[in-house]
Structures are given as structure tokens and as C-alpha cells.
Chains A and B, each alone.
Chain A
């Protein structure tokens, strides 16, 4: 069975600093991996996803994530934080087949300090 852990329920960074949100997964089969973002009072929207093509995945708003099989990780990064990046971020995993159940991590709340 798949599972997801996100290290740090809350992360604070200064504006302009590197954003690093950690995600580790477990899966017995090659997974699909996702990052979703939830802005205040909104639903979740897809930031990026990995589906076994390139291991470095680029998403919207300057975010990217790297799939590292040996570390079972899929950490999310952005070189320079912007105030508008303040949101809740969820990592998720599913088996690498379509229409499989998607398992979400507990989320990491990102604060950006001016």
C-alpha cells in the first residue's frame, strides 16, 4: 500500500529565499507522484506531477520537484519565494496506472516572511 509523509507541518521562509518542501513516499510499484497547492479558501490545484518520464519535473509558478527513487523522495523546490506562494502544499502518490486511488500527505503550510 502506498503512503506519503511530509516533513514539517509548517515551514517559514523569507521572501526571496529558497523554498524546500519535503515529501517521502512508499509504493510497491512505480508510482505517479503529485504536488497540489491550496490557497486560502480555495480548492486544491495541481502544481506538478511525475509519471515516470523525466525525473526533474517543472510545474507552475516556478516550482519544480525531483523524483529520487533511491531515496523514495519527491521534494518540492522554488529558488526564490514570493509572498503569493504562501499556501498549503500537499504531496500525493498513486500507483502508476490510471484511475488508481490517490493518497495524500498531511500537508505543509508555507509562510513567506517579507
Chain B
């Protein structure tokens, strides 16, 4: 079964405490992305990766980092989280025809 798995699903953290959201896909896709979803703004791309060791900024990259050391994994790193990063985050894997497969989402609250 095609799957994108992200963890944790729910997280409350404090301002400035580094955190990592992991993401893994089992479809052998080269293209992976991170999105954040905020009310009224839809989904905005944070970072994307076209292949191993190839990453690039999306529309809202400030405050985030990513890495792509293996094809299946694409973690999202918040080095110093701030309250404006409170959001719902989705990892996504993109296949042929640009069909996107999403993870179930990670609810992040920064207090």
C-alpha cells in the first residue's frame, strides 16, 4: 500500500526548542515536499526535494530546514520554533503525473 508516514502527529513545544518531524514514503518517489496548512491560506509549500541531496525552498521556507540523505526520508527541522509556526504540517510524495500522496499531518503548537 502506498504510504507517507510522518511523526509525531501531535506536538506541543516551547519557543526555541529544536524539533524534527520525520517523514518516510514507500513509493520510491524522487520528489517530496513539506506543506503547512493554515485557515484561509490553503496549503503552502515550505521546502521540496527533487532527489537525494537536492533540496530547494518553496513559498514559505523561513524558519525551517530539511535534509534528504535517503530517497525515502525527508525530515523537517525547526531549529528555533516560534509561535507563528503553529500550524498543521503535511509531508507529501509526488509521483508521475504530479499526483501527490500526503501523510496524515502533524499538528504543531509552539507556546
| Complex interface: stretch among B13-21, B36-44, B62-70, B71-79 | B36-44
Q: Contact: B104 with A49, CB < 8 Å?
A: no
Closest residue on chain A to residue B42 by CB atoms: A106
Q: Point out the residue from A32, A90, A104, A106 that lies within 8 Å of B97, measured CB to CB.
A: A32
Taken residue by residue from 71 to 103, chain B's Cβ proximity to chain A (1 for < 8 Å, 0 otherwise) reads as 000000000000000000010001011111111
- With the chains together, A41 CA to B45 CA distance in Å? 20
* Residue among A41, A45, A51, A106 making CB contact with B40, cutoff 8 Å: A106
- Contact across chains for B94 and A99 when beta carbons are under 8 A apart: yes
Instruction: Tell me how many residue pairs across A and B have CB atoms closer than 8 Å.
Output: 55
* Known contacts A43-B105, A44-B102, A94-B98: A99-B90 contact under CB 8 Å: no
Residues of B in contact (CB 8 Å), total 24
Nearest B residue to A4, CB-CB: B42
With CB as the reference atom, state the residue of chain A lying closest to B98.
A94
What are 25 A-B contacts defined by CB distance under 8 Å? A36-B102, A43-B90, A44-B43, A46-B100, A46-B101, A51-B97, A90-B42, A90-B43, A92-B100, A94-B98, A98-B96, A98-B97, A98-B98, A99-B30, A99-B94, A99-B98, A101-B45, A101-B48, A104-B42, A104-B43, A104-B44, A105-B42, A106-B40, A106-B42, A107-B42
Binding site for B on A (CB under 8 A): 9, 32, 34, 36, 41-46, 49, 51, 90, 92, 94, 98-102, 104-107
